[in-house]
Amino acid sequence: MEVFKMAANVESMFYVREVPWHGLGTRVEEALTSADALRIAGLDWLGEQKPIQVCGGNRIENFKANIRSTDGKVLGVVSDRYQIVQNVEAFDFTDELIGGDVRYETAGSLQEGKKVWMLAKMPSTKVVGDDVEPYLCFSNTHDGSGAIRICMTPIRVVCNNTLNLAFSGASRQWSTRHTGDLKYKMQEARLCLELAEKYMVGLASYADRLANTTITDEQLDKLLAEMFPVDEEKDGERKKNSAKKAKEEFMICYLRPDIAQFLHTGWGVVNAMSDMVTHTAPRRKTANYQENNWGRIMDGHPMLDKMAALVGAR
């Protein structure tokens, strides 16, 4: 196995074959079972809740500290209503949800265990003739900062682009807080599988409609002008150059061979934008841009959603 140096926000993780969005982690040759994924991702630890005391021994009421069992690391301070979902429970839940021989292609933790995730492969399908591999992503926080979240992440195989599209009639994610009857909520989350199937059906229908929607060169110019707007009178040269460069990057993606069959269609335009936001490095690399990329796997990318909305309105 090949090990890459960890960035500050990536504590531990593994990935299969190709270097992922952040270029970090432990490389494995094949997708892993949940037991192996838990261990190799460095998630084989428990969260424990401990009372909080101040100097003098007085206990702080109504709050507890979430502690990692292996090293005593404080993951976060939470209310006493907060219920921990253990990493192993998340894997067990995902195994049961998908069923069969579930395999994981990546899993890991961010921010010293405060945030964890896993990505499980679902059965492949076809979207307008292309092979698409749907993945179920489970993410969780142990510091009280976020909810338990499950989402669909379809990948177009030929170009490895994410198709995390927002469109009406189908949701691609479910979430719940760490309070209340979590066992009931996790049972409710089994509806996610139905949501996932509905989303994939909706995606296929949406893609078919866009593949049959003609986009002329003139219409594409207008779309790009809306995506990267510039006021010729008020905006400075820096913004104008940035917009010009963004349009050039888009056209490079649009003219790539894997989009040739959808050239001059709405689906081709949407896929080019997906290619651009999936694979093009940002012009300004902030300290946590790699983590932000992961966040966009969960939330979708605003530029992709904007382009999909513009094309869908044609």
Nearest to 21 by CA among 216, 253, 277, 251: 277
pLDDT of residue 1: 29
Q: Is the pTM of this model over 0.75?
A: yes
Burial class (CB in 10 A: 0-12, 13-18, 19+), 106: buried
Task: Please name every residue paired with 131 in a beta bridge, in sequence order, or none if there are none.
Answer: 126
Of 19-23, 59-63, 142-146, 263-267, which range is least confident? 19-23
Phi, psi torsion values for 173, nearest 5 degrees: -150, 160
Instruction: Measure the CA–CA gap between 62 and 214, rounded to whole angstroms.
Output: 60
Instruction: Measure the CA–CA gap between 274 and 222, rounded to whole angstroms.
Output: 18
Nearest to 44 by CA among 135, 99, 109, 96: 109
Asked if residues 211 and 267 have their Cβ atoms less than 8 Å apart, the reply is yes
pLDDT of residue 281: 56
pLDDT of residue 129: 93
pLDDT of residue 247: 96
What would the DSSP string read from start to end of 120-134?
EE---EEETTEEEEE
Of 76-85, 184-193, 224-233, which range is least confident? 184-193
Phi, psi torsion values for 195, nearest 5 degrees: -65, -40
122-161: per-residue pLDDT in tens? 889 999 999 999 988 888 999 999 888 888 889 888 888 8
Instruction: Measure the CA–CA gap between 273 and 259, rounded to whole angstroms.
Output: 11
CB count in 10 Å sphere of residue 146 = 16
pLDDT of residue 280: 65
Mean pLDDT, rounded, of the chain = 85
Secondary structure percentages of the chain, helix, strand, coil, to 5:
40, 25, 35
Asked if residues 108 and 43 have their Cβ atoms less than 8 Å apart, the reply is yes
pLDDT of residue 5: 36
Query: What angle do the packed helices 266-279 and 191-211 form, to 10 degrees?
Result: 120
CB count in 10 Å sphere of residue 123 = 9
